[in-house]
Chains A and B, each alone.
Chain A
């Protein structure tokens, strides 16, 4: 029996605890232990961005964070993006502008795009494209994703 590590962390403002094997990742903890499956696995090597989360305010691939490293950290996931029953402007624009097709990359892209717009709501097309280069999407050709992010930024600026 390999040693398990006690991990206590905050996810979307709520406290959680679990026991994790040291080779487990934060992604495994979120999905398999906490059953927060909105964060997706697409590669487990940091190359697709489907597992994007915020760790202590920093955009990160949760597949690259080992579970014990998450001890005491504050994590934000897609499940925490809508606040007080209201969709975030990004979520709303993705719906209205068809920024998603199959939807598997969508949570990661929304988390990553929010990290950008929170710093820079007026990011232009190329800034958004380069910021989201770590998030693969195979359905949309990115066009409607980029437009939806720009539209959401526009709305966040006005807010």
Chain B
């Protein structure tokens, strides 16, 4: 256990010189001049182009694949199918991963890869795909998870049995992966105490992470089996270990270098084309570059879980919530991995409710496998939860924020999943929302205002990193986490603060998998927190080493040297009369003092501070068309302490607009044929600049005592209450409650009509 995890050294009275400022991020310069190297911006000598053949069917047995004609096409250097991957037992982790990468017995969604080609040009590769003959036996399919749960629904996996099922059906094939209950108290007794009970059903459709950078990679497999992989990823080590798991290649022979990441939001925590590129490269004996098209990204990579939710909640007249019961179902695509437990745990984790029962189902269906997205599974469930919270407050006649405040959790609260909260900022956040200009301003005529409150755990986990001092006294950081939107800069800032030097004298770079030990995925809003812990720990080690070297050079005991603002100084005049020695003076003489100065830390980081946010949204609804205009949006959120305020604001603003997209228009639309109808940016409607207003932020700082700089993750919290706040705003604007995401114009128009009828 590292001391820093126990005693972070957080000092609430410290005055920072670098932390809390907003300098230009170092990686920004190459990004504004077009020189930054994203995944598709690389080229390798002798490089081939790889393309994927995908299933046109949502569910079919792959009887045979004939690649002979494609192989004979001039310029084709390799064709791969399931035969090129080792058999891994279906229903295991590796078995699922290999089948997602390349179909084996069956195809499970439209867009499921069945073969891939490497050729000397893209045109030839595409021509070759058309020459591959696949014999499918088309099967009945099921897209919606509620339909997939019904008796008689087409079964995806004969071997699947519901985890947690009891009774007569427990040993029958099913599409329900898991049935899970999380409860506390006595739900019946709780509702018996309630004066007001609200009960409603909600649903949501999958949306896509929507990163603008298409997945692209270059794989080179040497003749002795060494793999060199360049790709955009939030999880280089995880990609490596999964390649090992599905391709039986030693991890030591795989080196993954992450490119600049052109957006991920969770969607680049799992691989798609990368194992195919490795297999093609191995077969073709050449480097292979693969780049997905936008249609492939939408059809082939993870959207989020679509859900259904039945929620019942009760409160006393005095505003105390006494019971909350819900039944939630989650689409996961053809294989498990929706991370629904996040929603099960987070659905009410803002409120102290004595009696809670949350039943969850994870269900397979013929859709692409879901992937992580900012607070996986949580925003679409909070959409319903915060709707009924608002309705309860309205039914009781309490101010919505006062109602939330009355039930708010505080330090010392133990959650339903057993975490005891240390310092948290929910109460401060709600109070700041009450005091902000937006909340205090009257709702403009013709508009509706919505409020919602969100939560995310924030994560820690396995993190590694090194730091070294150059002879000129400047500092280099090597990070194991990915930089999803500016963390290299935050790391440099924390290091600069530790050393008391300008941030320009520190640079952070992203490691390849050979440079450091294992790092967990860059997800869960863990990066600035976890890598920050590693960076501060490394800086403190180096400072200790600087003092030790200075002591040697001065020939005084180590305790006699202190470090301040980039200089070693005698601790007192008793130590001796020495001129302060700079980092440069010490590091330029390391030849004479035991060699170069560097540090490394390997941690399983704990102590992440949970985050809370309140969103306030004003909307105007065209009552004749159902068109929703978001007129004003304010996010109030506890960031712990901000390292770079301008970057924190950016995280919040970006999340708000993703929430607007999810709330209003983004969805996967399937035809009766089980094929995705809107696999492009024209009809997959992400918000454009003219769709949204400026996003105001009010940032509360309740420091996390477990971090040396008091920070909390801010990547996910700001998405969690977004769709709910917009839903509440629409409900207040039109006088009827929308319960289905996205709240698109046809749905709202029908809702308004049915309310009138």
Contact = CB atoms under 8 A, between A and B. Distances in A.
A and B touch in the complex (CB under 8 A): yes
Nearest to B210: A138
B34 A39 contact: yes
B24 A102 contact: no
A79 B33 CA distance: 6
A82 B485 CA distance: 23
**Residue from the set A38, A42, A98, A100 with the largest chain B CB neighbour count within 10 Å:** A98
B28 A134 contact: no
Given A37-B34, A143-B695, A138 B24 contact: no
A107 B34 contact: yes
A103 B32 CA distance: 8
A119 interface: no
Nearest to B127: A2
Q: How extensive is the interface on chain A, given as a class?
A: 35 or more
B212 A137 contact: yes
A98 B650 CA distance: 8
Interface string B631-650: 00000000000000011011
B262 A41 contact: no
Q: How extensive is the interface on chain B, given as a class?
A: 35 or more
A129 B689 contact: yes
Contacts of B25: 95, 98
A77 B34 contact: yes
Interface in A2-44: 2, 21, 23, 31, 35-44
B214 A42 contact: yes
Interface stretch (B35-43, B451-459, B508-516): B35-43
B43 A35 contact: yes
A136 interface: yes
A110 B31 CA distance: 10
B689 A146 contact: yes
Contacts of A36: 34
Contacts of A91: 32-33
Contact of B123 (A21, A135, A137, A140): A21
Interface string B287-299: 0000101100000
A48 B293 CA distance: 13
Interface stretch (B82-90, B170-178, B429-437, B652-660): B652-660
B32 A142 contact: no
Interface string B195-214: 00000000000000111111
B692 interface: yes
Interface stretch (B250-258, B324-332, B678-686): B678-686
Contacts of A146: 689, 694
B7 to A, nearest CB: 33
A73 interface: no
B22 interface: yes
B213 A143 contact: no
A105 interface: yes
B279 interface: no
Nearest to B262: A104
Contact of B33 (A31, A38, A42, A125): A38
Interface in A136-159: 136-147
A81 B33 contact: yes
A81 B32 CA distance: 9
A7 to B, nearest CB: 16
Contact of B690 (A50, A87, A104, A126): A126
Q: Which 5 A-B pairs have the closest CB atoms?
A: A38-B34, A104-B262, A103-B31, A141-B653, A47-B681
21 contacts: A21-B123, A31-B41, A36-B34, A40-B40, A42-B681, A45-B682, A77-B34, A81-B33, A82-B33, A95-B24, A102-B211, A102-B263, A103-B28, A103-B38, A107-B32, A139-B485, A141-B658, A141-B695, A142-B653, A142-B657, A144-B653
Given A100-B32, A102-B212, A138-B209, 15 more contacts: A36-B34, A48-B212, A48-B681, A98-B646, A101-B486, A103-B36, A103-B262, A132-B690, A136-B681, A138-B210, A138-B686, A139-B650, A140-B657, A141-B654, A145-B689
